[in-house]
């Protein structure tokens, strides 16, 4: 075993494009057009970079981006979202400077997490190395809802040249175009890099259409921002709309949606292929802005897509013709044979995948989402709690639905895994295989309700823990649903340990993977470096952590990931597994309290009646009730709107770096030894009449000596039920809820008058 070299991680998935051999048939004019539209902005070693200029009215001043030292234009998308796009032929150095003072001070979150990227921060600027093509989301940690400032970075490979001239071929040059695109059957439209079309792509009763290139459609509709009109099937109502269309290829298109409408709507359409699609939608009302919808039809492949929506990313219905009873009850056509792969999915609210709706009748089968990253899954509920999959077959919904597969998925910021409700037969064959949540725990339980069979959780992992039972998911089953199946492991197992459990920056730490015959081991240390081998040594450089948010506490949490690949048999496919664990480097220690003090189990609490909408400063308030509890509960004596505070000690079992995870719906904060470790975000209301607020989450790390440490917790009770939840992890301690036995408080007879 040798200490590893400090190399940047290799990114795995690059964009796929259709290339045309341009030099043999391009005219001089067309060749000149290509050279003008795809201007090289830098040459760094052997790397070539191409980025088209962004028209003035589309440019953003929120960020300045350079690639290999040369400026690349940043475009404004929608809401507070921006994006930057460039193509590269080799590794690049990316620098992003935020215009807002102190923008990166509370951390940086670069997703997908499985890439192991961690920037260097220099004041207003962050820098990182990108080895291969990727689609990234860059923001502050846990800041991804509809009002978040987010930058999406699309680093691709050079786009295809324009197709040969023909009567049915149209080239749209760089610049602003105010029109909708209405191709006829057999047409090809090439949008050159830097082409911005303000309008829609309408595919009504056409076939054999190709939309190619690297252009952008900006949709700014006239929909009422306060109601749902986005379901309508009519021209100029979506970024892409299709009705009874067949054999359509869309490659390299960016869709920007600035209206409350469904972004890409396909009704009774078949044989669609989307490659290298980028969809960014943002609307202030944070709803009714799906990514892609199938209203009947299918036979669709979506590959290498990036979707950021303000509602469901991918949704399936047999039809949708309004909200009147006769419209909701009218049977729809089948939806079948949909494959989404090698894609990146993000939403501010709702599900990653949704199928079904109360009272709706249709059949569906053969949906697969695989080899993809879930960056942000919606939080809260709309009648049904949101999840990676939400199937809402309530209130007499009918139809046969089968063969839904979720395979090789990475979950970053997420809410729950699956919510399936079915009141009438039949749902069967839902498989979740190789689902890796590498850092954040689930925030709410998954549920299976009603007429449902053959649900399989095959290697669903949280960190290093493989779900082997309902409790591990966690999963609740209601209304006669068949118990879920948890198969035994049949592939390689990624698991590891590290020594010593307590360390500081610059100290040597040895990581050892569980041995797998013939396996390849790749380590991503969360500090921008990687190594290979079953056993490796590493030295963490600082206490800022992976997200650059740990320096103030003197302890930094690094997201360490292990990727194990194994090929069994000469002609067998390579199988893989992942494991993740947060490890904490400590530079500042907090000492335990006096061990001789007389204590009693549990915590003391105080209740402050009031009608706050966000957690108030309780130092300025007066408690009305007080008492003692074995855990985080308080007796509000009939009040339904109040704040509560709990005080006492938490018993730390051993010296080490500890991470505390805080969950609450209305707002909470956690302090240990007088240091605020975590504070949840502001309340986020659930929608569609669902009561209360969504579960909010935050975490923080400290270096704590063994023994008792002072604990202070605050929680607001405004419109939701339940007390704050605290989970912890540390040396020899897997992520779990803090048990009541860890809490204590000073005995009354030990308190000095």
CA 56 – CA 79 distance, rounded (Å): 18
Residue 605 and residue 580 share a domain? no
Q: Check whether 374 has a pLDDT greater than 90.
A: yes
Q: Give yes or no for a contact between 386 and 423, defined as CB atoms under 8 angstroms apart.
A: no
CA 438 – CA 111 distance, rounded (Å): 12
CA 684 – CA 719 distance, rounded (Å): 11
How buried is residue 63: exposed, middle or buried, by Cβ count under 10 Å (0-12/13-18/19+)? buried
Strands (E), 214-251: 216-219, 240-243, 246-251
Q: Using the 8-state DSSP alphabet, how is residue 687 labeled?
A: B
What pLDDT was estimated at residue 752?
A: 54
CATH number at residue 522: 2.60.40.10
Assess if residue 277 is contained within a domain. Answer: no
Residue 578 and residue 644 share a domain? no
Q: Give yes or no for a contact between 213 and 192, defined as CB atoms under 8 angstroms apart.
A: yes
Across the range 619-625, mean pLDDT stands at 96
CA 356 – CA 364 distance, rounded (Å): 9
CA 84 – CA 80 distance, rounded (Å): 14
Indicate the average pLDDT of the chain. 92
How buried is residue 166: exposed, middle or buried, by Cβ count under 10 Å (0-12/13-18/19+)? exposed
The percentage of residues in the chain with a pLDDT greater than 90, rounded to a whole number, is 86
**SS3 assignment, position 538:** strand
At residue 508's C-alpha, the angle toward residues 504 and 512, to 5°, is 115
Residue 603 and residue 578 share a domain? no
* Band of residue 595 on the pLDDT scale cut at 50, 70, 90: confident
Residue 626 and residue 542 share a domain? no
More confident residue, 144 or 14: 144
Residue 735 and residue 620 share a domain? yes
Q: Note every long-range contact of 197-203, with CB atoms under 8 Å and residues 24 or more positions apart, other chains counting.
A: 197/172, 199/236, 200/235, 200/236, 200/237, 200/238, 200/239, 200/240, 200/241, 201/239, 201/240, 201/241, 201/253, 202/235, 202/236, 202/241, 203/240, 203/241, 203/242, 203/243, 203/245, 203/248, 203/269
Residue 88 and residue 64 share a domain? yes
The CA distances from residue 311 to 149, 283, 302, 377, 605, in Å, are 18, 10, 18, 10, 39
Assess if residue 646 is contained within a domain. Answer: yes
The CA distances from residue 588 to 459, 552, 556, 709, in Å, are 38, 10, 10, 15
607: tokens are: 């209740």
More confident residue, 13 or 556: 556
Assess if residue 280 is contained within a domain. Answer: no
**SS3 assignment, position 507:** coil
Q: Give yes or no for a contact between 17 and 274, defined as CB atoms under 8 angstroms apart.
A: no
Residue 671 and residue 566 share a domain? no
What pLDDT was estimated at residue 571?
A: 66
* Band of residue 681 on the pLDDT scale cut at 50, 70, 90: confident
Q: Give the closest residue to 542 by CA, choosing from 481, 605, 587.
A: 587
* Band of residue 489 on the pLDDT scale cut at 50, 70, 90: confident
Assess if residue 308 is contained within a domain. Answer: no
Q: Check whether 677 has a pLDDT greater than 80.
A: yes
Assess if residue 247 is contained within a domain. Answer: no
Residue 604 and residue 579 share a domain? no
Residue 647 and residue 536 share a domain? no
Q: What is the pLDDT of residues 20-63, one digit of tens each?
A: 333 333 333 333 333 333 444 444 457 899 999 999 999 999 99
The upper half-sphere exposure of residue 310, i.e. CA atoms within 13 Å in the direction of its Cβ, equals 30
Of 64-68, 279-283, 569-573, where does mean pLDDT reach its minimum?
A: 569-573
Q: What is the pLDDT of residues 493-518, one digit of tens each?
A: 999 999 999 999 999 999 999 999 88
The 3-state secondary structure of 149-179, one letter per residue: CEEEEEEECCCCCCCCCCCCEEEECCEEEEC
CATH number at residue 126: 2.60.350.10
What pLDDT was estimated at residue 13?
A: 31
CA 570 – CA 550 distance, rounded (Å): 46
Q: What is the pLDDT of residues 211-261, one digit of tens each?
A: 999 999 999 999 998 889 999 999 999 999 999 999 999 999 999 999 999
Assess if residue 710 is contained within a domain. Answer: yes
* Band of residue 423 on the pLDDT scale cut at 50, 70, 90: confident
More confident residue, 288 or 266: 266
Assess if residue 186 is contained within a domain. Answer: no
Assess if residue 707 is contained within a domain. Answer: yes
CATH number at residue 695: 2.60.120.1560
The percentage of residues in the chain with a pLDDT greater than 70, rounded to a whole number, is 93
Sheet containing 508-513: order of strands: 496-499, 508-513, 535-539
Across the range 307-323, mean pLDDT stands at 96
Residue 662 and residue 617 share a domain? yes
Q: Give yes or no for a contact between 129 and 8, defined as CB atoms under 8 angstroms apart.
A: yes
Where does a domain end: 100, 124, 156? Answer: 156
DSSP secondary structure string, 125-153?
Answer: EEEEEE-S-EEEEEESTT--STT--EEEE
Ramachandran sector of residue 369 (left: φ over 0; alpha: ψ -120 to 50; beta: rest):
beta
What pLDDT was estimated at residue 33?
A: 33
Q: Provide the domain limits for residue 625.
A: 599-750
Q: Check whether 303 has a pLDDT greater than 70.
A: yes
Across the range 643-660, mean pLDDT stands at 98
Q: Check whether 530 has a pLDDT greater than 70.
A: yes
What pLDDT was estimated at residue 486?
A: 98
Where does a domain end: 96, 124, 156? Answer: 156
Q: What is the pLDDT of residues 109-164, one digit of tens each?
A: 999 999 999 999 999 999 999 999 999 999 999 999 989 999 999 999 988 889 99
Q: Give yes or no for a contact between 527 and 492, defined as CB atoms under 8 angstroms apart.
A: no
| Bridge partners, 301 (sequence order) | 273, 339
608: tokens are: 């402050």
Across the range 425-436, mean pLDDT stands at 95
Number of domains in the chain: 3
Residue 607 and residue 580 share a domain? no
Across the range 647-661, mean pLDDT stands at 98
Residue 152 and residue 100 share a domain? yes
What pLDDT was estimated at residue 217?
A: 98
CA 579 – CA 570 distance, rounded (Å): 26
561: which residues sit within 8 A by CB, 6+ positions away?
A: 113, 114, 116, 438, 523, 524, 526, 578, 579, 580
What pLDDT was estimated at residue 283?
A: 80
* Band of residue 424 on the pLDDT scale cut at 50, 70, 90: confident
């Amino acid at each position: 075993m040798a200490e590893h070299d400090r190399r940047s991680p290799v990114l795995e998935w690059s964009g796929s494009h259709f290339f045309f051999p341009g030099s043999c048939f391009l005219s001089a004019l067309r060749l000149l057009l290509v050279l003008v539209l795809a201007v090289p902005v830098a040459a760094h070693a052997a790397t070539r970079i191409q980025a088209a200029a962004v028209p003035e009215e589309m440019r953003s001043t929120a960020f300045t981006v350079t690639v290999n030292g040369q400026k690349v234009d940043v475009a404004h998308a929608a809401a507070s979202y921006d994006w930057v796009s460039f193509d590269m032929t080799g590794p690049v150095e990316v620098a992003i400077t935020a215009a807002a003072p102190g923008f990166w001070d509370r951390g940086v979150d670069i997703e997908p997490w499985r890439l192991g990227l961690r920037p260097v921060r220099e004041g207003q600027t962050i820098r990182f190395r990108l080895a291969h093509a990727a689609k990234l989301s860059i923001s502050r940690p846990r800041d991804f809802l509809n009002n978040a400032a987010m930058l999406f970075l699309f680093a691709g490979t050079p786009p295809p040249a324009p197709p040969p001239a023909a009567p049915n071929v149209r080239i749209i040059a760089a610049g602003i175009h105010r029109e909708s695109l209405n191709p006829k059957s057999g047409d090809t439209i090439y949008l050159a890099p830097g082409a911005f079309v303000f309008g829609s792509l309408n595919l009504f009763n056409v076939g054999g259409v190709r939309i190619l290139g690297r252009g952008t459609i900006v949709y700014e509709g006239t929909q009422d921002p306060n109601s749902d009109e986005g379901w309508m099937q009519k021209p100029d109502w979506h970024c892409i709309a299709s009705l009874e269309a067949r054999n359509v290829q869309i490659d390299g298109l960016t869709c920007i949606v600035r209206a409350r409408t469904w972004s890409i709507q396909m009704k009774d359409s078949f044989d669609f292929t989307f490659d290298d699609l980028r969809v960014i939608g943002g609307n202030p009302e944070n709803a009714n802005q799906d990514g892609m919808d199938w209203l009947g039809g299918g036979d669709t492949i979506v590959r290498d897509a990036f979707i950021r929506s303000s509602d469901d990313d991918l949704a399936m219905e047999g039809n949708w013709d309004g909200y009147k009873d006769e419209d909701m009850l009218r049977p729809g056509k089948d939806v079948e044979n949909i494959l989404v792969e090698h894609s990146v999915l993000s939403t501010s609210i709702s599900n990653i995948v949704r199928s079904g709706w109360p009272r709706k009748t249709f059949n569906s089968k053969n949906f697969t989402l695989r080899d993809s990253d879930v960056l942000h899954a919606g939080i809260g509920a709309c009648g049904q709690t949101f999840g990676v999959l939400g199937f809402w077959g309530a209130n007499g919904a009918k139809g046969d639905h089968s063969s839904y597969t979720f395979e090789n998925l990475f979950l970053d910021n997420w809410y729950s895994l699956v919510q399936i409700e079915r009141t009438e037969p039949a749902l069967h064959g839902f498989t979740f295989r190789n689902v890796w949540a590498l850092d954040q725990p689930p925030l709410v339980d998954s549920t299976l309700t009603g007429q449902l069979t053959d649900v399989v959780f095959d290697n669903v992992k949280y960190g290093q823990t493989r779900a082997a039972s309902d409790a591990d998911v966690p999963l609740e089953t209601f209304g006669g649903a068949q118990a879920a199946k948890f198969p035994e492991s049949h592939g390689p197992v990624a698991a590891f340990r590290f020594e010593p459990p307590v360390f500081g920056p610059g100290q040597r730490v040895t990581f050892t993977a569980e041995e797998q015959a013939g396996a390849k081991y790749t380590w991503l240390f969360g500090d921008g470096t990687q190594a290979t081998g079953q056993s490796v040594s590493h030295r963490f450089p600082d206490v800022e952590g992976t997200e650059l948010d740990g320096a103030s506490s003197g302890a930094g949490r690094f997201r360490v990931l292990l990727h194990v690949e194994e090929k069994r048999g000469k002609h067998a496919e390579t199988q893989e597994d992942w494991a993740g664990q947060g490890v904490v480097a400590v530079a500042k220690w907090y000492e335990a309290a006096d061990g001789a003090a007389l204590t009693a189990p549990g915590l003391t609490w105080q209740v402050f009646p009031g009608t706050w909408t966000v957690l108030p400063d309780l130092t300025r308030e007066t408690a009305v009730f007080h008492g003692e509890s074995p855990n985080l509960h308080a007796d509000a004596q009939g009040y339904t709107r109040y704040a509560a505070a709990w005080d006492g000690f938490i018993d730390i079992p051993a010296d080490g770096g500890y991470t505390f995870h805080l969950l609450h719906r209305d707002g909470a904060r956690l302090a240990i030894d007088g240091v605020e470790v975590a504070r949840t975000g502001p309340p986020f209301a659930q929608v569609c009449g669902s009561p209360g607020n969504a579960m909010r989450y935050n975490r923080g790390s400290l270096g704590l000596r063994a023994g008792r440490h002072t604990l202070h917790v605050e929680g607001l009770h405004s419109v939701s039920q339940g007390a704050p939840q605290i989970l912890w992890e540390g040396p020899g301690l897997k992520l779990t809820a803090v048990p009541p036995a860890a809490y204590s408080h000073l005995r009354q007879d030990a308190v000095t008058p």
